[in-house]
Structure 1
């Protein structure tokens, strides 16, 4: 494992080093380490509770997130679990067990986020709001718009929404949905952009409540100093950090 920040959790670090690549999936190890560290940051700032992943697939990213929770906190995995075949749910469950996330620490939900109400989603976590929701479901504008509405309604104070496959060449219109969402929800802002490792391990956006932005940003500037791309991201008019394994600027001669 090279050029990966500390995830802030020994169990996450062990999984990233020894098990992450063995679980079929598309999310990058770099993004998993950063999101796990964000969960640690939340804990240190008094933000606790469950997390949810919309589009858990075979569990690669979910397992990393689950290991970053505190004792007694639940990780909820929501997926239609029918793509690419009906065996994906069994593989998800087996991967979780193999890598130390037992049924006492997770809830597996076979369902469609597009028709789920906030009360139904929170009901899978005992009625609690979520401190982090990772959206990696159907990659269409309509589905992402619905998932963003659902996530926003279920988020706790100080909570984070993480969006997968942003700026992916295979899904270029998803950014249109994100921009429309941000314009319609000015209380939510981008906290940071997590740069891609590869086309497969694509970019993620992390969103937070505007009231929490400066608090989180100050911590990120200190924790991830070596991974900050100097120019940042301009969301017009909001600016946020870009975290990358390659922080070089273009040479202009």
Structure 2
């Protein structure tokens, strides 16, 4: 098995080791480490600014992302905060405080992202577009399509969109929404697939602007060399990396 990559941030590493599993949620530690390292890669490539998570729940993944920000950058946590009960918002706030994400580093937004306009969303950042958007909201084809449209309108140059629970057996129609979106937005391409850790810690797709694909991929081949599955992913005709804890190829005899 390949090792979980280093996130590139001491605060993220401490949280992943000591706090991540204690926060209720379903995202994998493997994916959190990769996404935090992608945030560091953006910084190294001169891409800065705020980030957002649609579907923050109790904050497990959000906290990891927020710890990966540079000084002065903020994280937006967006959720309807109604499931499984209204107290989930209080638990989100408490988890952020407990694990070191101070109020001045984040904005909590109780809203349905599907009803938000781009102007409304980036109004929370003073008009600054987002460099990283993690979509983990309502798992329906219609909702994902709306979230993707919002994310694309709010995406900064060099920005990344990360989609949760891709290829999950419980949500087979999400892939239909993704294919329709990619066909309608040729300027956006898959940058990589983050393989599942378990059926709960499911696969994520990372999308980027086409003009940034080669720039990011060239560095990622080195950063994640131990996690690269050799055959990659074929999006017909676009090809991208697959990052996995299990990089074996099937034995053919």
TM-score, normalised to structure 2, is: 0.99
1:24 aligns with: 24
- State how 1:1-253 maps to structure 2 within 5 Å: 3-253=3-253
Q: Measure, in 2, the Cα distance between the counterparts of 1:219 and 1:52.
A: 24
TM-score, normalised to structure 1, is: 0.99
Greater relative contact order: 1 or 2 (C-alpha under 8 angstroms, separation 6 or more)? 2
The alignment partner of 2:91 has SS state of: helix
Provide structure 1 residue ranges, at least 5 long, that are not aligned to the other structure: none
> Residue deviations 1:155-178, cap 9 Å, x none?
000000000000000001100000
Shift of 1:33: 0.3
Q: Measure, in 1, the Cα distance between the counterparts of 2:167 and 2:72.
A: 35
Shift of 1:245: 0.2
| C-alpha contact 2:3 2:226 (8 A) present in aligned 1 | no
> Residue deviations 1:106-129, cap 9 Å, x none?
000000111100000001111110
> Residue deviations 1:67-104, cap 9 Å, x none?
00000000000000001101100000000000000101
| C-alpha contact 2:54 2:134 (8 A) present in aligned 1 | yes
The alignment partner of 1:83 has SS state of: coil
| Large movers: runs of 4+ above 3 Å | none
Q: Measure, in 1, the Cα distance between the counterparts of 2:58 and 2:33.
A: 18
The alignment partner of 1:191 has SS state of: strand
Shift of 1:3: 2.1
Q: Measure, in 1, the Cα distance between the counterparts of 2:215 and 2:8.
A: 18
Q: Measure, in 2, the Cα distance between the counterparts of 1:123 and 1:20.
A: 30
| C-alpha contact 2:192 2:241 (8 A) present in aligned 1 | yes
